[in-house]
Amino acid sequence: MTTLIDNPVLRSTRAEVLRLRRWPAVWVLVAVWIALALVFGYLFPYLSYRTGDLSFAGDGDTRAQLLVEMLPAAIPTVLVQGLPMFGGALALVLGAIVAGNGYGWGTWKTVFTQGPSRPATVGGSLVALTLAVLGSLALTLVLFLGVSLLVAGTESQAVTWPSAGAMLESFGGGFLVLEMWALLGFALGTVARGPALAVGLGLVWALVVENLLRGVGALLGPVEAVTEVLPGTAGGSLVGALVDVSSNPNETPGVLDVLTGSQALLTVLAYCVGLVVLVLVVVRRRDVT
């Protein structure tokens, strides 16, 4: 009999949610993400708008444009434009500590002797990680709504809402990009059996190596082909498609138009699926000490 209550993945998910919810490190990452998103999405543009110093905008925006980008109608764009750089990096760190710390603490050893099979246990952990990513993005969205309403009120602007379709697209796309990075972190933490190497290598890869490769790729054809399938390229291009970067130049770092929206979406999805499979295969067979 496999009822919903008896489901081992569900049991593991409940256990993992409990321990993630009470983990200060998780809340630190969420707080940093939200602070960065608010600072770059609203605070800096607002300061730039108020002072009339447009050098921050950088991409030739006028004051009027700056204001428009802070109003509720622009939320779908603001929500995702920070994801390729710090959003993805923070999600990677989150995934890496969720998976990696358990090896040093010996908690995976304890958890693997509780009953649910290893795929079910790790599956539950992945579901809990996904919930954390979803929750953070939802929290961000709520805060952005509040701040943009505040801007509209302060600057006496009429409130126009973004279309539901645009909101869904932005939220869904942003979630997938974050989820891909979180899964990449989880996979690295699992393979490395610890958070330090996973976080270090993951961040160097995401923030340095990919950018270098894209630089080289612009000059060398074969390298360019490789850069097109990298996670950063895929995530950046997906966000680029969401904010329509090709017709609306945006110099936010990491936002790209290398791939079309559908190519980018497929690549991101392929990473998500492939990383989950990798994690399950590695954990199922390994010796845990």
Partner 1 sequence: MNDLVVQTDGLTKRYGERLAVDSVSMTVRRGEVYGFLGPNGAGKTTTLRMMLGLIRPSAGTVSVLGRPAGRPDVIARVGALVEGPGFFPYLSGRDNLRTMARYRDLGDHAVDAALERVDLTDRAGDRFKAYSLGMKQRLGVASALLGDPELIVLDEPTNGLDPAGMADMRALVVSLARGGQTVLLSSHLLTEVQEICDRVGVINGGRLLREARVDELRGEATLRVRATPEDAAIAVAMRVAGENAVSRTPLGLELELAAEAAPALVRDLVAAGVDVHEVSPTERSLEEVFFEMTTEAPTTKEKVA
Rounded Cα distance between 32 and 40, Å, is: 12
The candidate with the shortest Cα–Cα distance to 98, out of 129, 137, 131, 130, is 129
Contacts with partner 1 by CB under 8 A lie at: 5-6, 8, 11-12, 14-15, 18-19, 22-25, 105-117, 120-121, 285, 287-289
Smaller CB distance to partner 1: residue 58 or 106? 106
Is the Cβ of residue 84 or residue 116 nearer to partner 1 in the bound state? Answer: 116
Q: Shortest Cβ distance from residue 187 to partner 1 (Å)?
A: 21
CB of 114 to partner 1, least distance (A): 4
- 225-239 CB burial, b ≥16 within 10 A, e <16: eebbebbbbbbbbbb
248 or 285: CB nearest partner 1: 285
Of the pair 5, 219, the CB lying nearest partner 1 is at 5
In sequence order, the 6+-apart residues with CB closer than 8 A to the CB of 261 are 237, 238, 241, 242
Minimum distance from CB of 112 to partner 1 (Å)? 6
Min dist CB 28 to partner 1, Å, is 11
110 or 160: CB nearest partner 1? 110
Residue 49 and residue 181: Cα distance in Å, rounded?
Answer: 33
> Rounded to the nearest whole angstrom, what is the least distance from the CB of residue 261 to partner 1 in the complex?
40
13 or 81, CB closer to partner 1?
Answer: 13
How far apart are CB 16 and partner 1 at their closest, in Å? 8
